[in-house]
Amino acid sequence: MIHSTLFDRLVWTVAAVLTLASVGLYLVSTRAGVAIRATWPDGKGEAPGYTDIGIEFAEPMDPSSVESRFHLDPEVEGELAWEGNRMVFRPSRPMMAGGLYRVRVDAGARSTSGQVLKRAAEWSFRVRQPYLLFFSPAAGDYELYRQQLGSDTREQLTHTQGMVREYAVSSDGRAIAFVRDNDQAGSDLWLLPDGGTPRLLVACGEGRCTGAAFSPDGRRLAFSRDGVLADGSGRRSPPRIWIVSLDTGSAEALFEDSQVLGFDARWSPDGARLAFYDGGIGSIRIVSLQDGSEIQLESQMGLVGSWSPDGQAMLFPVLLTGGGQPTTELRAADLAGGVIRRWLGAERGWVDLGVPAWSPDGDWVAVAVQPSAATPSREVWLLRPDASEAHALLATEGSTYGGIAWAPQGGLLAYQTLVMGDPGARPSVMTLDLATGAGRQVAADAWRPGWQP
């Protein structure tokens, strides 16, 4: 009996100690409040213009209590999303180059268990100047380079012994995809993270993978892929559209039907649709990736047009073959209303027009035009989306222009120019400030300009 009593006392003592310990831990936890594991960007370096801004908590949170306490100064258009315990703000437009941004999540945010954020979380970061990308030299074994605005120093991004062929940049500037020839007479897709090392993304063997295009969220890559026919002729099969997930590395054809052909893929700004040219039907296909519905825009140019920034319209070139020498015109497709109309063409006497480039804010459209059949040179014109206020932006006798690319923040145009009539001339990559009219040569003996935020 005595032993039983001592045992009972021991059990109760241990239970009491455990209870006090748990109460103590609860009180400590309550006093400490919600813990923060990480915030980003970390402010140690300059961030890309489209960088994600986020905070990670140590436990699940009540989303509304956090979102209502989130502040970004200066304010930026964008959307908040949750990934587990991480809240992420994604800008819908690039932030101001060189700008300092301050982020704050006020105290009072609650976890799902009732814990409270005791102290505000605050951090800041600065947005970098965008990079201008280009191939150089213009002839021979070229490689991909980049040069930051305001700097005279260029950085070589690829080292392929002249085997690089194309490139594409994700909208957030975090990655570059490029096409590289392989030793099987085909070409592969490679991925270069910003500041990282290139890695093989899709090995295409004897096939040629070309025309890479990032989805707006940067998680998928659309591209065109052909192959070699199995009949021993060595001929290539027509290209089809494929999509590879950058998260998993898995790639598959967009359509199971091998008769649906495609190249020159271009995502809609919201990532819900994909446009590409199908040579089998001589039209641009615009396919909904949600329900498979599609719109077809007849065109014999073999080119996809340019999405408006809001994704509601497309400007696309059409080949006109009647009446002597073939010419082109640009048509505008209202994708919501289903209306297609002539946008620009023969009324000005121009014989050829390139794919137009919308400014990021949608206020202007730049387009390269061949003004007459008497000369192969091209000019660059600027127009409003309704084709009004048309005026020549780049037009110098004896020179030709092309490769138009708007800077992510707008207001600045990159292009390439070449002096005509000189067999030894090489193209140069230039920028033009639309506000001041100031032009600047970024790189001599270079071509195919593009931007990395």
Distance, CA of 351 to chain centre: 32
- Matching fold, domains 36-126 and 163-304: no
pLDDT (0 to 100) of residue 206: 95
Q: Are β-strands 187-193 and 36-40 bridged in parallel, bridged antiparallel, or unpaired? A: unpaired
What is the reported pLDDT for 376?
87
Pick the range with the lowest mean pLDDT from 6-15, 130-139, 374-383. 6-15
Provide the CATH topology of domain 36-126. Answer: Immunoglobulin-like (2.60.40)
42: buried, middle or exposed (CB in 10 Å: 19+, 13-18, 0-12)? exposed
The lowest-confidence range among 28-32, 125-129, 197-201, 385-389 is 28-32
Phi and psi based region of residue 130 (left: phi greater than 0; alpha: psi -120 to 50; beta: remaining): beta
With 0-12 CB in 10 A as exposed, 13-18 as middle and 19+ as buried, what is 229? exposed
Tens of pLDDT, residues 393-417: 999 999 999 999 999 999 999 999 9
CA atoms within 13 A on the CB side of 58: 10
Strands 391-394 and 78-83, bridge-based pairing: unpaired
Instruction: Determine the average pLDDT of the residues in 245-271.
Output: 95
Residue 197's identity, in one-letter code, is T
Q: Contact at 8 Å (CB) between 413 and 432?
A: yes
CA dist., res. 289 & res. 418, Å (int):
40
Going by pLDDT thresholds of 50, 70 and 90, the confidence category of residue 345 is confident
Burial of 195 (0-12, 13-18, 19+ CB in 10 A): exposed
Q: In the structure encoding, which two tokens stand for residue 33, read together?
A: 């409040």
CA distance linking residue 258 with residue 273, whole number of Å: 20
Query: Does residue 23 register a pLDDT over 60?
Result: no
Q: Structural domain boundaries of the chain? A: 36-126, 163-304
How far does Cα 288 stand from its chain's mean position?
A: 19
b/e sequence 413-449, b meaning 16+ C-beta within 10 Å: bbbbbbeeeeeeeebbbbbbebeeeeeeebbebbbbb
Q: Which CATH superfamily is domain 163-304 in?
A: TolB, C-terminal domain (2.120.10.30)
What number of residues does the chain have? 453
Task: Kindly indicate the confidence band of residue 44, based on its pLDDT and cuts at 50, 70 and 90.
Answer: confident
**442, containing H or E segment:** strand 439-444
Tokens representing residue 385 in the block: 């989306």
pTM of the model: 0.86
pLDDT at 32 over 80: no
pLDDT, position 2:
39
Structure tokens at 344: 């620009």
Q: Across the chain, what does the average pLDDT equal?
A: 90
